């Protein structure tokens, strides 16, 4: 695709996971904002090439050594430095071991997991659901991101509540909105949607509009029935 961004310095490659067309899937609505005709590649940054600079190299090296000492191999798929953030892409089966080393290794000491969030990329085959963890080291005043990708056909990940109790409600929200099942969570129930709600509203395949609004007896029109501007 000719309009793909140029691969920046220090990056091995870029990762095209799909193409975004139109605004929120709406077609022919008379939208005058210009988003209705949007066609844009969905690009994820590829692996960065060491040395990374700053304290990033120290963290990467300490993690690699710590994982070897723990007998864990193949945990890290790639490391990405992008927009001033360091992200470790980790395999699902090694998530617990990786996070344990992040928390317990004295040279790392990422004592807090401050958030768990999800993203749905339907076109990213066999990696449709991306789950992102934000870690904070109070000891060393550093932040990193950890990202795991799982297939929509098997939406299971181990819960991190035993390691980081603070993720309890975050995992519930990610289940509520994206349908990710965190095995071992003490009470994986809805946290924002009603308990009997069907579906997970932040997935890309969730219907837009046409759903009754609770407490008001109204409904949100589907995109192709909303007001259009002539």
**Per-residue model confidence as pLDDT tens digits over 118-145:** 999 998 899 999 999 999 999 999 999 9
Residue with tokens 């924002």: 192
Q: Enter the pTM of the model.
A: 0.81
**Average pLDDT estimate for 82-108:** 97
pLDDT 10s digits, 21-41 = 776 555 555 555 666 677 888
Q: How far apart are CA 132 and CA 167, in angstroms?
A: 12
Residue 182 clears pLDDT 60, i.e. is over it: yes
pLDDT surpassing 50 at residue 2: no
> pLDDT tier at 214 (50, 70, 90 boundaries)?
low
Average pLDDT score over the chain: 86
The β-bridge relationship of strands 181-183 and 156-158 is: parallel
Q: For 26, phi and psi rounded to 5 degrees?
A: -80, 135
Half-sphere exposure of 127 (CA within 13 A, CB side): 14
Task: Output 36 or 47, whichever has higher pLDDT.
Answer: 47
Residue 213 reports pLDDT greater than 70: no
Q: How far is CA 187 from the centre of its chain?
A: 22
Fold for 47-216, please state it: Beta Polymerase; domain 2 (3.30.460)
Is residue 192 predicted with pLDDT exceeding 50? Answer: yes
Is-contact 198 114, C-beta < 8 A?
A: no
Lookup: tokens for 35: 């988003």
224 falls in which pLDDT band (50, 70, 90)? Answer: low
Maximum pairwise Cα distance, the chain: 66
Tokens representing 105 are 């290794």
State the pLDDT at residue 25.
55
For residue 43, the model assigns a pLDDT of 81
State phi, psi for 134 to the nearest 5 degrees.
Answer: -105, 120
Contact, 89 vs 142, CB < 8 A?
A: no
Q: What's the mean pLDDT in 79-104?
A: 96
- pLDDT tens profile 148-179: 999 999 999 999 999 999 999 999 999 999 99
Q: What percent of the chain has pLDDT over 90?
A: 65
For the chain, which residues make up each domain, given as ranges?
A: 1-45, 47-216
Mean pLDDT within 72-85: 95
Minimum mean pLDDT among 47-51, 97-101, 156-160: which range? 47-51
What would the 3-class secondary structure string for the chain be? CCCCCCCCCCECCEEEEEEEECECCECCCCCCCCHHHCEEEEEEECCECCCCCCCHHHHHHHHHHHHHHCCCCCCEEEEEEECCEEEEEECHHHHHHHHHHHHHCCCCCCCEEEEEEEEECCCCCCCCEEEEEEEEECCCCEEEEEEEEECCCCCEEECCCCCCHHHHHHHHHHHHHHCCEEECCCCCCCCCCCCCCCCCCCCCCCCCCCCEECCCCEECCCHHHCCCCC
Give the pLDDT band of residue 116 (cuts 50, 70, 90). very high
Cβ(50)–Cβ(64) under 8 Å? no
- The yes-or-no verdict on residue 229 having pLDDT over 50 is no
């Amino acid at each position: 695709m000719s309009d793909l961004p140029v691969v920046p310095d220090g990056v091995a490659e870029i990762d095209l996971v799909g193409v975004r067309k139109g605004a929120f899937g709406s077609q022919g609505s008379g939208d005058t904002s210009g988003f209705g005709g949007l066609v844009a590649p969905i690009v994820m940054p590829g692996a960065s090439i060491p040395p990374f600079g700053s304290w990033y190299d120290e963290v990467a090296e300490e993690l690699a050594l710590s994982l070897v000492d723990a007998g864990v191999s193949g945990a890290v798929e790639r490391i990405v430095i992008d927009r001033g953030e360091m992200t470790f892409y980790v395999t699902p089966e090694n998530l617990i071991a990786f996070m344990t080393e992040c928390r317990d290794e004295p040279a790392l000491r990422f004592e807090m997991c401050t958030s768990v969030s999800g993203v749905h990329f339907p076109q990213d085959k066999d990696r449709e659901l991306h789950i992102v963890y934000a870690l904070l080291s109070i000891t060393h005043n550093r932040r990193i991101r950890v990202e795991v990708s799982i297939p929509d056909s098997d939406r299971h990940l181990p819960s991190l509540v035993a390691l980081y109790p603070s993720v309890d409600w975050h995992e519930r929200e990610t289940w509520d909105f994206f349908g990710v099942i965190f095995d071992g969570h003490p009470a994986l129930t809805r946290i924002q949607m009603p308990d009997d709600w069907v579906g997970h509203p932040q997935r890309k395949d969730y219907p837009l509009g046409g759903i009754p609004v609770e407490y008001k007896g109204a409904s949100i029109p589907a995109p192709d029935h909303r007001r259009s501007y002539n």
